[in-house]
Amino acid sequence: MALSRPFVEYCVRGWDNLPRTLLMYYSNFISSPEGYFHTVVCNADEFKKTTVNHGLHYIWWDNPPKQHPHYVTMDDLEWLPATRHSLGSSTQMTQC
């Protein structure tokens, strides 16, 4: 994820109440960065036309899940192809 300086300033200074309201909401989630910035950018009129939706991600959670997912490293390249999982999601491309 890449965030522009104007968007980060909007999240910090919040010239409307949206970033602050969503921050309070997402503070109750285990891994709030997974959705906070996406929700803010897709709901802020000034920034929602600036997103690029690609859906490429790989998340590997423990069972039971911990606070953060595992990071895929070069060591994972040995076993990852054997799992037959792709490194993309099969989500439908939609606009915010």
Q: What is the pLDDT of residues 1-10, one digit of tens each?
A: 678 999 999 9
**Band (90; pLDDT cuts 50, 70, 90):** very low
Q: For 36-81, how does the pLDDT look when each residue is reduced to its tens digit (9 = 90+)?
A: 888 898 889 999 888 876 655 566 776 777 777 776 777 777 776 6
The helix (H) or strand (E) run that includes residue 37 is: helix 36-43
pTM of the prediction?
0.54
pLDDT for the residue 93 = 46
Q: At which residue do the structure tokens 């490429």 appear?
A: 56
- Whether the per-residue pLDDT at 30 is higher than 60: the answer is yes
Closest CA to 56 of 11, 93, 4, 13: 93
